[in-house]
Amino acid sequence: MNQQQYSPCPHCGSNVWDTEAQCRNCHKFIERCSTCRAPVFPGKDTCFRCGAFVSKEPKVQAKATLSGDFIAGREMVLNIAMRNVGNTKTIAKYDLELPETLGGKEIKEEDIKLEAKSTVEREYYFVPKKTGNHSIPSFEVTYKKSDDDESSVKTSPVNFRIDGIPVLDLSIALDGSEIELTEAVHLYVTVSNEGTAVAKNIDFQIFTPPTVFADKKQLLLPSLQVDEQRTSAVKLEPVFDGSHNIKVRVRYQTPATQRRGPRTEEVSSEDLILKVKKVG
């Protein structure tokens, strides 16, 4: 910083150096900007040299932002940050309501203490219900000035898009858990899409020991729509007696979202035990 810089005295107009606490002409104390040391002029809210807020008042800035996956049905966070860039403390408040598609939650805060040069943040959790474009409207943050009058600052609207992803649920069942060696049994594979987008490129894997033959050709499912459920029957033919573990795994592709490209997910069933007895 140039220590030899000078400016007019805010009281009498004569030139004073930035290092001087009092005017040499009128002998009055000079209040200075804490950022650049320029004199503070009465009635001016900002420094004439650097633009910093110099008034003995609070001055609140507010901003709303979002974090999360931006996926329908998943939890997201609305973050509201308030910064008092002024020079005295204040009390702030706000009131807003999220749209119904974002849960319709009412958010109301009062008596938020904001010290000078401090920041206060609040987090609010919500779950978007539908895919598509959404918006959280702008709202006012109101705060008190030194004379108890109110001032306010308005946030910008938050516009964003919610994507969907498929979420598959898998279950398996046998139409008989104990059979004789000469018999066959059917394995029922049920898969449902409980997500918010179509599941594609679905691939089934049936894990059986070599002693149990499974007709895997019966499991063909290229895609599954949202809220759709399908059940397939697979014929199992054991060639040896004893206990045999059965398990199914499904892999499927999720569509691209605004945060990532297509991904392959998988879900596995619980193990089932098929008991095979010797004939007679």
> Mind listing the pLDDT tens digit for each residue in 10-23?
899 899 999 899 99
Pick 141 or 104 by higher pLDDT.
Answer: 141
Amino acid type, 259: R
> Could you count the other beta carbons within 10 Å of the beta carbon of residue 261?
8
> Mind listing the pLDDT tens digit for each residue in 199-232?
999 999 999 999 898 876 667 788 999 999 999 8
Nearest alpha-carbon partner for 90 in 152, 155, 154? 152
Residue with tokens 């749209």, as numbered in its chain: 99
> Mind listing the pLDDT tens digit for each residue in 64-77?
999 998 999 889 99
- Checking if the pLDDT of 133 tops 90, the result is yes
For residues 52 and 37, is the Cβ–Cβ distance under 8 A? no
Nearest alpha-carbon partner for 103 in 73, 81, 63? 73
Strand partners, 112: 92
Query: Can you read off the two tokens belonging to residue 200?
Result: 């594609």
- Checking if the pLDDT of 2 tops 60, the result is no
Contacts of 178 (CB under 8 A, 6+ apart): 274, 275, 276, 277
- Checking if the pLDDT of 50 tops 90, the result is no
